[in-house]
Amino acid sequence: MFTRRVRFSVTCNAFCNGEIRLKMKKIDIHCHVLPKLDDGSASLQESIRMLKLAYRQGIQAVVATPHDSHQFRQEDPEKIRNLCRRLETRARAEVNPDFRVYPGEEIFYSQETLEKLKRNQLLTIGESRYILIEFMPNVPYSLLYRAVRELTEEQYRPILAHMERYGVLREKGRVEELIKAGAYMQMNYRRIGGRWYDETVRWCRKMLKNQKVHFLATDMHNTKSRRPQTQEAEAWMEKHLERTYIEEIAWKNQEKILRDAQPDAEMDILHN
């Protein structure tokens, strides 16, 4: 278990660390920065380049979430923890002395997920009770709902990765129903900053205005096609959302998760 106390510096909107101008503070709980584990970073050098890009956008800590799926099986949680420690050491030397890298996984839900969690064969987010889960984009709603119930009944707190990807959630009332069942919603920054006429962008913005999102994340995979992209989203949010809500979904809720792993934690994220 990670027992180090979580410490983050205050939001930095001024010129910090030489010429780097940080944007709003962020903690990224969904990214593929560990080298050679999945379709994310291809090398430690690329991982550092990804973290440098992320840091320039205000990201001060990440939870590395390699895919655990049919295509990319993560057999050894300790290997992920070790890679996180290694990457964090490099990031502290080359990105920022306070940069943090926590272990996690993006778990493709299956009938075996719960058992594997109980056997500690899968990693939660930063060793907390929160888990990042994904499904096929065309998942039936009944399966989504059943999975959330199954996991919450065992005291896990499922966070639905990139909620914008699931067609069944576009139907009125379903996001609310899943939240009521105990799910948390994660949205990718990239989908918020797209063109206004894009149906998904519009849906994402509506969800944000209705405060149905608990976490924003980059889901970055590399430094090119799937690099961290938060600026456009941030510009839109600053115009249309309350500052307190933006802070909650950009870093405050994420901090609560990471505190959840602490023995003295009493921090629960409030459901909307």
**β-pair type (100-103, 59-64):** parallel
Nearer to Fe ion, 46 or 219 (CB): 219
Minimum distance, C-beta of residue 221 to Fe ion, in the bound complex (Å): 7
> Which token pair is 52?
């440098």
- 28 part of the interface to Fe ion, by CB under 5 A: no
Interface with Fe ion (CB under 5 A), residue total 2
**Which residues have a Cβ under 8 Å from the Cβ of 115 and sit 6 or more positions away?**
none
Binding-site string for Fe ion from residue 201 to residue 240, where x marks contact by CB under 5 A and - marks none: ------------------x---------------------
Minimum distance, C-beta of residue 241 to Fe ion, in the bound complex (Å): 24
DSSP code, position 109: P
Q: How far is CA 76 from CA 37, 44, 100, in A?
A: 11, 19, 21
Q: What is the Cα–Cα distance from 153 to 13, expressed in whole angstroms?
A: 41
Minimum distance, C-beta of residue 34 to Fe ion, in the bound complex (Å): 12
Minimum distance, C-beta of residue 64 to Fe ion, in the bound complex (Å): 11
Which residues inside 57-116 make contact with Fe ion, applying CB under 5 A?
Answer: 106
Q: Is the dihedral of CA 226, 230, 231, 232 positive or negative?
A: positive
Minimum distance, C-beta of residue 162 to Fe ion, in the bound complex (Å): 7
Q: What is the Cα–Cα distance from 15 to 12, expressed in whole angstroms?
A: 8
Q: Which residues bind Fe ion (CB under 5 A)?
A: 106, 219
